[in-house]
Amino acid sequence: MKVIYVLLLLINLLRCSAGPSAAISRRNVTLDLTLSAANSPSKVVPNTPNNEDVPAGFKKFVIFGDTHGHYFNVTDVLYNNVNLRINGADISRNYVYDVFSYWNDDQILAFCFRYDYERSHSKYEYYNVIQGVWKEVKESDFEANSNGKISGAGLKKLLKFTESQNPKITPDGDKKEGQKNKKLLIIIASAVGGIFVLLLLGFLAYYVFKK
């Protein structure tokens, strides 16, 4: 009997660890998009890899609410300890079932809420970052369905567009920029030096001819 009890306990623990996070059911929480952050009763982090419907070259991370229709309320959103805001207001959403975040390597591009709508349907709400500024996505621009879900070609279009608006600065790019600045400084120094030499020659010529 003890062996059976221990086996049942282990099965229950495995089921709890692999399933949705029941600890966040019906709670008010902060959504932290920083992958290195940790979940807690007051904070959720979409840091579980999920390859479903992800275009090639991009990554998706998720956190799931309770599968039995339980939700959590997102009061604010953090990324790298900074509150994300739109027009000065915190990003928030009640009755959230799931959160998805989309990445290009270590660069976040967008995130999405799947939330309860009229107690019978779930809807999707997307946000993306344009040159460091977060904006709510207009789903109609990216072939969303009637519930606001963007998938397939529409999702690829959204992520490719967002990627193009947030170019990465590579080490080679930094090096080229530094070389460009160095050349510019040399040109300016040469021009200033040339002007100084001309002025000096002019002064000497004036002094010689005056005598």
Q: Where are the domains of the chain?
A: 2-164, 169-211
- pLDDT tens, residue by residue, 123-178: 999 999 999 999 999 988 999 999 999 999 999 999 999 999 998 876 654 455 55
**Residue 56: pLDDT band by 50, 70, 90 thresholds?**
very high
Distance CA 107, CA 100 (A): 14
**Residue 211: pLDDT band by 50, 70, 90 thresholds?**
low
Joined tokens for residue 128:
């993306």
Full DSSP string of 157-173: HHHHHHHHTS----HHH
pTM as predicted? 0.70
Full DSSP string of 93-132: EEEEEEEEEEEETTEEEEEEEEEEETTTEEEEEEEEEETT
Would you call 140 helix, strand, or coil by DSSP?
helix
pLDDT of res. 92: 97
Given a cut of 60, whether residue 2 has pLDDT beyond it is no
Could you say which DSSP state residue 40 is in? B
